[in-house]
Amino acid sequence: MGALVASAGAGVFLVVFIAVYVIAALPLMGVFGKASQPAWAAFVPIYNIIVLLRLIGRPWWWLLLYLIPFVGIIFAIIVLYDLSRSFGHGGGFTVGLFFLGWIFLMILWLGASEYRGPAATGFTAPPAI
């Protein structure tokens, strides 16, 4: 009987984990869609970071920099800043992405923000008037 209860608890945990993961990845899916990237990539761990790096114009090997303690945080802030610039926002929006990432990704997805190109390469479109 104890094994049955333990397996039921593990099943509930798995369902809750998957639900939270899907809800957390939804705004990223919308951002990818706005930037003409495959939306399903938001749900694939590690590959979603590679797509995000491509979206902002950074090389794929920056993914490895995330693994270095403390350095990873700095590179994450740079990536968020480039993401903000790629959608026509500035440093204040980067702070919002860092501290309230889910909400600010929802703003990028559902708001009036338009993808202007990879900010890291410097080929972004001028702001719309």
Question: Band of the pLDDT at 95, cuts 50, 70, 90?
Answer: very high
CA distance 4 to 27: 37
* Percentage of the chain exceeding pLDDT 90: 74
pLDDT digits (tens, 9 = 90+) for 23-72: 999 999 999 999 999 999 999 999 999 999 999 999 999 999 988 999 99
CA distance 123 to 75: 21
Long-range contacts of 37-46 (CB under 8 A, 24+ apart): none
Asked whether the beta carbons of 116 and 36 are under 8 A apart, the reply is no
Tokens of 92: 């204040």
**CA-based torsion, 56, 29, 111, 95: positive or negative:** negative
Least confident of 5-9, 81-85, 94-98: 5-9
Return the pLDDT at 120. 74
Angle of helix 2-34 relative to helix 47-56, nearest 10 degrees? Answer: 20
CA distance 98 to 94: 6
CB atoms within 10 A of CB 92: 9
pTM: 0.83
